[in-house]
Amino acid sequence: MPSRYRSALGAASAAIIAIAAGAVAPGGPAVAATTPTATAAGLTRVIVEYDDPDAAALAVSRAGGKVGRPLSVVDGFVAEVPSQRLSALKTAPGVRGVTVDGTVSLSAARWRADGDSNSMFSVVRATGALDVWKKLDSSGRNIAGTGVGVALIDSGVSPVTGLNDTTRIINGPDLSFESQASNLRYTDTFGHGTHMAGLIAGRDPLTNLLTVSDPSNFTGMAPNATLLSVKVAAADGATDVSQVIAGIDWVVQHRNDPGLNIKVLNLSFGTDSNQDEKLDPLSHAVESAWKKGITVVVSGGNDGTTRANLSMPAVNPYVIAVGAADSKGTDSRADDVVADFSSRGNATRSVDLTAPGRSIVGLRDPGSYVDVNYPTGLVPGDTTGRYFRGSGSSQAAAITSGAVALLLQQRPSLTPDQVKKLLTSTADVMPQAEKLGSGAGELNIRRAIEAPTPTTAAQTWTASSGTGSLEASRGTAHVADPTSGVELTGEKDIMGKAWNGTTWGKAATAGTAWSGGSWNGAAWTGTAMSTGSFPGLPTAKTWSSVNWSGTNWDGRTWSGRTWSGATWDGRTWSGRTWSGNTWSGRTWSGSYWSSSIWQ
DSSP 575: H
- Cβ-contact 498, 491 below 8 angstroms: yes
Which positions ≥6 away from 434 have C-beta within 8 Å? 337, 338, 344
| Catalytic residue of the set 122, 359, 393, 394 | 394
- Cβ-contact 482, 461 below 8 angstroms: no
The alpha-helical segments, DSSP class H, found in 254-332 are 281-291
The Cα–Cα gap between 157 and 365 comes to 9
| Catalytic residue of the set 75, 165, 192, 284 | 192
Closest CA to 282 of 248, 251, 255, 252: 248
- Cβ density class 2-15: b for 16+ within 10 Å, e for less: eeebeebbeeebee
Q: What is the DSSP string of 468-480?
A: S-HHHHHTT---B
Query: In one letter, which amino acid is 517?
Result: G
Packing angle, helices 241-253 and 281-291, rounded to 10: 10
The Cα–Cα gap between 594 and 397 comes to 10
Q: What is the DSSP string of 448-491?
A: HHHSPPPSS----PPPP---S-HHHHHTT---B-TTT--B--SS
- Cβ-contact 289, 320 below 8 angstroms: no
Which positions ≥6 away from 167 have C-beta within 8 Å? none
The Cα–Cα gap between 193 and 348 comes to 31
Mark whether 192 is an active-site residue: yes
| Catalytic residue of the set 154, 165, 174, 382 | 154
The Cα–Cα gap between 325 and 132 comes to 21
Closest CA to 177 of 582, 590, 593: 582
Enzyme catalytic residues: 154, 192, 394
